[in-house]
Amino acid sequence: MTSAVLITPLNLKPSADKVGESMGWGPENYTLPLSDDGGDTLTHYACRTDVTEGFIEMLANPPEIPGVALVLSFLIVDLSETLWGKEHLDAALESNNLTYYVG
């Protein structure tokens, strides 16, 4: 099982959700508001989930979905085989200098 933290910039959240929906993930997967200035400004959204090898291959060879190239070009993908859930999310945020948005 591979845990994934996927982080998209705020302005690409609608596109990222649409790409996810086009791939059958449902309407809104990026729901965790994040901040790159310590918590006061909303700058990113994240999704923590489990992914398959097929998903990881898809990142390298994305399907022909409108907007997918743009979304992937700015998508932060943090994968872990040892961390899971909130512990993985917290580690991914720290390594990318992000915090929870609590504004």
CA distance 37 to 2: 29
Stretch that binds other proteins, among 7-15, 21-29, 56-64, 65-73 (CB under 8 A): 21-29
57 lies in the site for other proteins, by CB under 8 A: no
Nearer to other proteins, 28 or 36 (CB): 28
7 lies in the site for other proteins, by CB under 8 A: no
Upper half-sphere CA count for residue 4 (Cβ side, 13 Å): 20
66: helix, strand or coil: coil
CA distance 74 to 16: 10
Query: Where do contacts with other proteins occur on this chain (CB under 8 A)?
Result: 1, 5-6, 20, 24-29, 31-32, 40, 46-50, 84-86, 88-90, 100, 102
